[in-house]
Structure 1
Amino acid sequence: MKKLTLASVTITLSLILVGCNSDTSEGSNNTQSDNTDNQAKTEEKNKDDAAIEESKNNEVTNDDKTEASRVDNTKNNTNKNESEEKQTKNNKESYLADFSSKEIEYARIWEQLGPMKNNMKGMDTLYVKEIPKGSKVNPQAENSAVYQEDVVKLEAPIKAGGSVTYSSNGDGTINVYNKVPYRWADSQMSDYSNMDEVTKKAIEENIETVDVKPTDNKTIAELASKIEYSK
């Protein structure tokens, strides 16, 4: 009887130990599985974080590249514009390189005030007469008044083309003598008895101060090339 009881106890203990081992093994397996899952999640999170960080870095890099590209484009456009402006300026200046400052002045004044421009029929020559101070306003009249300053007279080849008589103020403005005609009438065809009064009025009345405006240099060069000095 004692042997039977001992055997029963032994079997019972064995079953208990087996159960414990099974629980321990299962717990160990569960723990290992949990650890594996956690590791996988951690790795996945790290990958996601790395991807996000890389995306941010790429965005920053792209922004930097875009800004650098914009700056380069701006510089290139600026350099291009400066180059074009310089070329344009050089071209404009080169048109006038063969002419004196006086010739350029004469051409500009005629282009602005002349009744007949260089692109009109008959304007093959621009006559320039430089008249010193003290010269007679009407060279044909003994009793003519005299100019109180140096003047210049610009004339078209024909009377219909008109003329411009002026003095320069040296500041970009001129005084235009509007009453001085293209040609004074011959003494045989006009009464010269009061020519002193007529010529005096011509240089004292209706004097207009005009600003000389810069204009297309190519046109001025073409006109300046037609200048011919007369006495």
Structure 2
Amino acid sequence: MDKLSAAKKRILDYTKYEMLNKALEAFEDLGDDEELGPADWSTVKRYIASLNDLEGDPVHPHTESEADNNLAPSNLKDIRVRLLNGVQSAYWEMLDEGRISQSTTNLLMQSVDEAIDVAPHEPLCDWKGLKSNVHFPYYYKLLQTSMFPQKLITYFTVERLENACCVCAGFLQAHRIARRQLHEFIGDSVVASTVITESEAEGEEARMFLEDVRITFPQVLRVVKTRQVTYSVLNHLLDYLQSR
């Protein structure tokens, strides 16, 4: 209980490495100016612990020994939970940006919570909690060949498929973001590659659903994207007015 797993140690080492780089960047920008002159470097180091790791050249943790490249259950659990936490964080950002609604966010968040509960002994499975909300009724395709007015068909399908498309798009984007972040933190380790592969496999059904919609009802995806962009532009304008 008093030791870090290999996976957590890599994350901690990466965080320390990045903190040192960020501290150095900030000091380079602020350490000297023509009005006040230079800062006292020794005093700055005394107050900022991460600057005390400057002895020698900092080594990126991804270049160190790969002795921790094992698939121990504890390592897999740690990395799965790390990726799922990244997925949840991405969902919150999407909500703020207007890419997904509050109800869709709740649904996506619940699927992640359920997946975290079984992460110690099962591969990533947050898609399992979303499948019942993503389906393409067979009779929708028949509408394309019917005599109904196109506007009526579009309204009928958009209303019922929009939420499913938002779920799929949000799921795929969040996993893509989380995979990139995980690779940045862990590097090319076997355990990280295993979890990244699980994540990519999780998105296969979501990709197939969106492709099916794109082929059959492209106007549905256009409506979803148009609403997202409109909401985002309005948010940017609101932020601008509030800052003035």
Normalising by structure 1, report the TM-score: 0.20
Whose strand proportion is higher, 1 or 2? Answer: 1
Q: Which has the higher contact order (CA 8 A, sep 6+)?
A: 2
Normalising by structure 2, report the TM-score: 0.19
The structure whose Rg is larger is 1
